[in-house]
């Protein structure tokens, strides 16, 4: 095998951008790149290792022998080692052996920019030169409209390793998922899927949230082009793709980013800021220019190379606060004496500005559980710049309310109404995610009180309330057919349950809720605006009834919603309405096809009886543990 030939893909301008933290397409330069040089096929390698004394490429091509293929360090102080090795082809396994200037430490590392990795538990990087021809032009032309904040946004959260498995418990491949999953999501009517992290990760029980291959879709289900095929098929079906993305922490695995070149290269050197006690993982050094460029390049990589439509940024709260999950004495205040991580906040703002500057037709979504202000407001007015934020308070309060026996709910109506005091401070997404159905929390169905009928009726009511509450929606896999057991990452969902009427009824309910959400502009045109919501009456705690109006741009699109949170039907229940005429019932969560007790009147005429401050009113029956929607 020929030795290393001096060669570079970097210009002086690239290096200046890299040093200043402004090079956001590093994936085109760093990593391994099969190229032809002077008529010779081979692979160019480049890796950032500023504390190294030497860096060698080792792999199956040289029997993993150290120092046989040493890279050349650049002369410009960038800390980049590079070179061209003839004869190395796509599919070659490799790592970097790094001899550090730091006490002679030697590390053997996977490539941080590898586009493909060995199937875990193996840990080598793979030289990759895949070719894919996209067929999603129609979607890409309109996705700015589909991803708009005034359009329906209903998300199905999926863990690819456990959504469905083969009879022998093997994973479905990306290509198999491109058939089964795409067809199912389209049938259910969701507008988007959100994949729990698909970047390469070593440890299955981490669910993908401890990444070692930031630029590589996991090889568990196939190669990079096969993952592109899955995204492409979703797009061709009119379904957007959101990826969970983890810039908050990374694992200490020996082949990963930690202590990369014998120094704290990617992680913050101060353990109080560089180590996460909850997750036993390392925290990125957000104040280091090259690390910021690595992370922002990674975000753009998935949007650019994989046509991804959005990033759900994991664990944002842990990034924002220096004292997150730390006791007194375990953290150090910032220069102003408070607990905000100023470097992380600056990074997040730059991330969002860069993402939207390059891809204005996508969304970034924050998993953020604190009262940090203006998470989903533009950077230029002091916000963090996300498109949406998970409404964790609504989720928590709603589940606490629904866990209570209906007889006690009249004392806790504030659990439901409180969300409207802050619902429009952010662009909120309402999430029932994987986190709510693990670690002894039970499935959503078994959080509900009462006998079997009441459990299912409560769940139908919960979902119907969710879809009529302002904001966008997210449901974790299995929730859409009332999975009975907690989620298990290591096995398929319990699809056999859908043969039973009550479970298939929940499935039908979700289908119809998705259809109604997409069909009635009042549910999405002003979903983040106070103008899109009006209480009719939130004070009838004695009957545990809420009535409200959802509004679109046109008054004739307004919807009247009445919800009964007890198993007692509310008959001849009068509510005020803003105009006279005939109201048509467009949805009833108690319909027989959902497993309910049966439908009620399909239309009702207003009467000139003043009620709830309106000149007109209607008298309706609100079904037990049910919601009705009128237009």
* Catalytic site positions: 314, 367
Closest CA to 311 of 394, 246, 220: 246
For CA atoms 383, 387, 392, 397, give the dihedral sign. Answer: positive
Question: Residue 475: beta bridge partners?
Answer: 156, 432
E strands, 408-532, where?
Answer: 428-432, 472-476
Residue with tokens 């979700």: 510
Q: Distance between the two ends of the chain, CA-based, in angstroms?
A: 75
Tell me, what DSSP letter sits at residue 156?
E
Query: For 239-305, what is the HEC assignment?
Result: CEEEEEECCCCECCCCCCCCCCCCCCCCECCCHHHHEECCCCEECECCCCHHHHHHHHHHHHHHHHH
Which tokens is 500 given? Answer: 């039973």
How do the residues of the chain divide into helix, strand and coil, expressed in percent and rounded to 5? 30, 25, 45
Instruction: Tell me the C-alpha distance between 10 and 70, whole Å.
Output: 18
- Answer yes or no: are the C-beta atoms of 517 and 531 closer than 8 Å: no
Q: How far is CA 218 from CA 165, 196, 213, 296, in A?
A: 16, 12, 8, 20
- Alpha-carbon radius of gyration of the chain: 27
Find tokens 């793979």 and name the residue. Answer: 126
Burial class (CB in 10 A: 0-12, 13-18, 19+), 103: exposed
Write out the E strands in 93-141.
Answer: 93-100, 106-109, 125-126
* Other Cβ atoms within 10 Å of 566 Cβ, number: 18
């Amino acid at each position: 095998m020929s030795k290393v030939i001096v060669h570079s893909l970097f210009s002086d301008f690239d290096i200046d951008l890299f040093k200043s933290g402004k090079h956001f397409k590093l994936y085109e330069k760093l990593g391994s790149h099969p190229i032809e040089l002077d008529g010779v096929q081979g692979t160019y390698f480049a890796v950032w290792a500023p504390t190294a004394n030497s860096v060698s490429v080792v792999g199956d091509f040289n029997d993993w022998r150290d120092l046989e293929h040493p890279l050349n360090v650049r002369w410009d102080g960038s800390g980049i080692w590079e070179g061209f090795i003839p004869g190395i082809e796509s599919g070659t396994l490799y790592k970097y052996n790094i001899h550090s200037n730091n006490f002679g430490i030697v590390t053997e590392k996977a490539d941080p920019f590898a586009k493909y990795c060995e199937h875990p538990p193996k840990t080598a990087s793979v030289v990759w030169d895949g070719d894919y021809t996209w067929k999603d032009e129609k979607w890409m032309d309109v996705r700015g409209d589909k991803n708009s904040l005034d359009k329906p946004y209903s998300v199905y959260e999926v863990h690819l390793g456990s959504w469905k498995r083969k009879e022998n418990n093997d994973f479905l491949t990306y290509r198999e998922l491109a058939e089964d999953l795409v067809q199912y999501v389209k049938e259910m009517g969701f507008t988007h899927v959100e994949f729990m992290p698909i970047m390469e990760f070593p440890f299955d029980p981490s669910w993908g949230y401890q990444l070692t291959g930031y630029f590589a879709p996991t090889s568990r289900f196939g190669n990079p082009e096969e993952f592109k095929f899955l995204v492409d098929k979703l797009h061709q079906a009119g379904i957007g793709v959101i990826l969970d993305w983890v810039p908050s922490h990374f694992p200490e695995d020996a082949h990963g980013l930690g202590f990369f070149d014998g120094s704290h290269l990617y992680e913050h050197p101060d353990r109080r800021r560089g180590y996460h006690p909850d997750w036993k993982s390392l925290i990125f050094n957000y104040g280091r220019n090259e690390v910021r460029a690595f992370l922002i390049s990674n975000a753009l990589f998935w949007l650019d190379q994989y046509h991804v439509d959005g990033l759900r940024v994991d664990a944002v709260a842990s990034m924002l606060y220096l004292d997150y999950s730390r006791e007194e004495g375990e953290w150090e205040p910032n220069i102003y004496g408070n607990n905000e991580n100023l470097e992380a906040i600056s990074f997040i703002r730059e991330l969002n500005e860069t993402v939207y500057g390059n891809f204005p037709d996508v969304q970034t979504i924050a998993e953020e559980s604190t009262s940090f202000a203006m998470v989903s407001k533009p950077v230029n007015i002091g916000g963090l710049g996300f498109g949406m934020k998970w409404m964790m308070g609504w989720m928590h309060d709603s589940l606490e309310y629904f866990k209570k026996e209906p007889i006690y709910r009249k004392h806790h109506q504030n659990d439901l109404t409180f969300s409207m005091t802050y619902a429009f401070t952010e662009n909120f997404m309402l999430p029932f995610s994987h986190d709510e159905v693990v670690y002894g929390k039970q499935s959503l169905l078994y959080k509900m009180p009462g006998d079997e009928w009441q459990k299912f009726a409560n769940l139908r009511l919960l979902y119907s309330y969710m879809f009529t509450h302002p904001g966008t929606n997210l449901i974790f896999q299995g929730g859409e057919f009332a999975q009975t057991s907690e989620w298990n990452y290591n096995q398929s969902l319990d699809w056999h349950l859908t043969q039973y009427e009550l479970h298939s009824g929940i499935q039908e309910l979700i289908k119809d809720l998705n259809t109604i959400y997409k069909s009635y502009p009042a549910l999405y045109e002003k979903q983040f605006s106070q103008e899109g919501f009006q209480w009719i009456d939130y004070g009838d705690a004695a009957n545990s009834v809420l009535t409200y109006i959802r509004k679109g741009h046109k008054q004739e699109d307004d919807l009247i919603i009445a919800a009964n949170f007890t198993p007692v039907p509310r008959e001849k229940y009068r509510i005020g309405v803003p105009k006279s005429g005939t109201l048509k019932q467009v949805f009833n969560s108690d319909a027989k096809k959902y497993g309910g007790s049966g439908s009620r009147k399909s239309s009702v005429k207003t009467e000139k009886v003043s009620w709830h401050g309106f000149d007109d009113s209607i008298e309706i029956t609100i079904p037990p543990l049910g919601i009705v929607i009128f237009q």
